[in-house]
Amino acid sequence: MALTDEHIRDDEQEREHLEATVRLLRAELDLLNNSIDKSARTIKDQKEHMWAYWRDMDSAEKAGFRTEINMSVLQGEHAVLRRQRIERLLESPYFGRVDFRRVEDATTRAYYIGVHNLSAPDTQDVVVHDWRAPVSSLYYDFESGDASFAAPKGIVHGEITGKRQYKIQGGRLEYMFESALNIGDDVLQRELGRSADDKMKNIVATIQREQNAVIRNETANVLILQGVAGSGKTSIALHRVAFLLYRFKDTLSSDNVMILSPNRVFGDYIANVLPELGEEQVKEIHFDKIAERFLAKVTAYETFSEQVVKLLDHADEASAERMRYKATPEFVARLDAWITSRTDEEFEAADIELKGTRLTAEWVADMFHESPGLPVFTRLDRVANSAVHLLKHKVVDKGGKWAAADTANIRKQVGSMFPYKDAYAVYKAFYDDADRKGLFKPLGRKRIEYADVFPLIYTMIRTARQDTYGHIRHLLIDEMQDYMPVQYAVVRELFSCKMTILGDANQSVNPFSSSSLPTIRSMFPEADCLELCKSYRSTTEITEFAQKISRNDKLVPIERHGPPPQVIACADQAAQILKLINEHESSDHRSLGIICKTVDQAEKLYGALSEDGVELTFIDYDSTAFAGGIIITSAHIAKGLEFDEVIVPGVDDTNYATEMDKCMLYIACTRAMHHLHLTHEGSASRFLEFTR
Ligand SMILES: Nc1ncnc2c1ncn2[C@@H]1O[C@H](COP(=O)(O)OP(=O)(O)OP(=O)(O)O)[C@@H](O)[C@H]1O
């Protein structure tokens, strides 16, 4: 397109604006550097002074000095944080601009939008608006024409007269687009076409309208986000955390937010997003950690990954039946009712006697019934504590002695009023009922199946008071489909805070115990439910291929084209994979994921490829970090991750035959952004019939 004078003038103005903004940022950076140097000097001087006069100071003076030093440290830290933000802005001061004419006063202003706020030091005018500021929602929510945003003082109405997107790197304008339409199109296409990093990247410049609605939802106490593979669920949830930290900065800090994520590798993969958005990383927890906290001293247990491995090996019908039974909301209700009824029906108050003193059964019953809201073992503890207290006084008053054994004796007497000694016994007895016979089957001596881990933890919580995560005010739960209703019941007991729960019903790794969207909703009846249907990660060709393996009618693929996935029949699979690796290495792509069905298969292939001199990283369940380059792992572990190019080896019919195998195949294929290859030696899997 030929450039008109207006285009050239416009271009020049934009460059001047960028230069002016960069000058402002440099000046701010100088000020901050000076201020940080000054803080460091002040702290050093203060410390030297304090030590020089330490002996002469009284305690009030010492405390005063300490407070002063702490203040200086805080000021310094604040300036360091601000410097990080300015450095980030210097790299790319803004990515968007909206020209907005307010109805109120008919003035038109250009609002530049970036990752942080920047104000002019002399006028305090905002030069760059934080993407989370109210006015910035104009950029994400509207095309040109009538528009409005919710300012603190009320809704501001007006008209968008122009909208631009910029790609600025190293402080230099790389390209700029006029975008009357929603942020789609050119910049989004370029962003999606980029190579995958070893860390998830922020998508602040190209957040789509339906994604913005999820990020900026302030009202939901529980927000359930169902999103198809590659729809940006995880990215959006992290941007939502950044938004909430900004919006509620007076009451919410990164210490109050926690992510319940599937594994450590995934945690490492997403670790950069919040810092890139100028927020501190938030704490992470896994269900395995919760299990360890509760069960370490109670029983050995199978982990989730061990269960997946076992099922992939072969799913025996009896254990599948046990899993299915424990994977429904009705099971939680039954267990719950049973725990309550045990307390009501089986507690029998009796006299407590020791060294000629006595407390009557009536006293015991009154004491026990005084706190009906508490769990049974906590109530028994209270009875025992009060009994010890009273009887000890009586004995001592009569001139007798009280020993630790006497306390233990009383605890034993109180304990015997309830037929179960602990939560494990309560849980085990649940299966004595004729309807449930055979549904509890420990794996050898005191090692329970994974399907019993959270029911047992739930029983522990419902029968004895436990420490909760009271300081957490927002919990993010990823991969919601992999958790059973009883796990949600545990989460509800441990976290009484707002939640964002996200996942994809199509990507379950254990079909016997995964939760559908209606099931999760039934556990959180108060939740707002939002859905993301557009899939951004993969080319249209890859998405359509994956759709043929496991269809989701709601999925809308993004229009971005690349080579069609290849299903390669080969005589020597290892040689074929080596060939694909060589081609990858001479391409522009940076990351390659070799995704096998199981960890065992991945480990074997890793051994073979390493012997052939390929440099690659094997990731198993114990891995904690995600690396760039060539990765080899299993579909279960690769969940949530993405690669420029993916190879799925062993797509033979013998290897991918069950419903569970189909889930794994779907997950593996949807990890690919640009290229996908599948290899097999025997006849291809039944799930790939459509390719024949
Ligand atoms: N608005 C957007 N702009 C640019 N990239 C986007 C956008 N939305 C999503 N993406 C990209 O799509 C890919 C998938 O995002 P993400 O991993 O958050 O999706 P997901 O729904 O959690 O995926 P899955 O469930 O398949 O693991 C990422 O590369 C992300 O950067």
620-666, pLDDT tens digit by residue?
A: 988 888 888 899 999 999 998 999 999 999 999 999 999 889 999 99
255-308 pLDDT tens trace = 999 999 888 888 888 988 998 888 888 999 999 999 999 999 999 999 988 888
Torsion of CA 575, 579, 581, 583, to 10 degrees: 180
Residue 231 labeled ligand binder: yes
Average pLDDT over residues 514-520: 89
**DSSP letter at 597?**
S
| pLDDT tens digit sequence for 39-88 | 888 888 888 888 888 888 888 888 888 888 888 888 888 889 889 889 99
Q: Residue 197 has what pLDDT?
A: 72
pLDDT averaged over every residue in the chain: 91
Ligand 1 centre to CA of 236 (Å) is 8
CA of 668 to the centre of ligand 1 (A): 15
The pLDDT of residue 184 is 54
pLDDT (0 to 100) of residue 261: 87
Q: Whose CA is nearest to atom 28 of ligand 1?
A: 537
Query: Please, which residues bridge with residue 594 across strands?
Result: 632, 647
Q: Is 228 a known ligand-binding residue?
A: yes
Which pLDDT belongs to residue 185? 63
- pLDDT average, residue stretch 222-246: 94
Are the CB atoms for 425 and 456 separated by under 8 Å?
no
> Residue of the nearest CA to atom 29 in ligand 1?
537
* 556 marked ligand binding residue: no
Neighbours of 37 (CB within 10 A): 12
229 annotated as a binding-site residue: yes
Q: Using an 8 Å Cβ cutoff, are 489 and 523 in contact?
A: yes
Lowest mean pLDDT among 140-154, 202-216, 368-382, 505-519: 505-519
The most confident of 257-271, 310-324, 479-493, by mean pLDDT? 479-493
pLDDT at residue number 131:
95
**DSSP 8-state class, residue 4:** P
How far is 248 from 251, CA to CA, in rounded Å? 6
- ipTM of the complex in this document: 0.98
Tokens 């002040």 identify what position?
A: 42
Q: Ligand 1 test: best mutation among 536, 542, 550, 664, most atoms within 8 Å of CB?
A: 536
Mean pLDDT over 459-465 rounds to 96
Residue nearest (by alpha carbon) to ligand 1 atom 14? 230
Q: Which residues pair with 595 in a beta bridge?
A: 633
Nearest CA to ligand 1 atom 12: 537
Residue 4 has what pLDDT?
A: 61
How do 592-596 and 556-557 pair as beta strands?
unpaired
CA distance 59 to 82: 35
Mean pLDDT of 523-534: 94
Nearest CA to ligand 1 atom 1: 207
Question: Stretch 19-29: mean pLDDT, rounded?
Answer: 94
Answer yes or no: is 72 a known binding residue: no
- Confidence at residue 7, expressed as pLDDT on a 0 to 100 scale: 66
Confidence of residue 1 (pLDDT cuts 50, 70, 90): very low
Integer CA distances (angstroms), 147 to 33, 127, 177, in order: 41, 21, 20
User: What is the per-residue pLDDT for 263?
Assistant: 82
The CA 352 to ligand 1 mean position distance, Å, reads: 64
| Average of per-residue pLDDT across 671-679 | 97
Q: Which of 134-143, 307-316, 322-331 is least confident? A: 307-316
User: What's the pLDDT tens digit per position in 83-126?
Assistant: 988 999 999 999 999 999 999 888 899 999 999 999 988 888 99
pLDDT of residue 407: 95
Q: From the alpha carbon of 503, which atom of ligand 1 is closest?
A: 25
Ligand 1 site residues (CB inside 6 A) read 188, 191-192, 201, 203, 206-208, 211, 227, 229-235, 504, 507, 536-537, 640, 642, 670
| Portion of the chain with pLDDT greater than 70, in percent | 98
CA 300 – CA 424 distance, rounded (Å): 12
Q: Work out the number of other CB atoms within 10 angstroms of the CB of residue 93.
A: 25
Closest C-alpha residue for ligand 1 atom 27: 640
Q: Report pTM.
A: 0.89
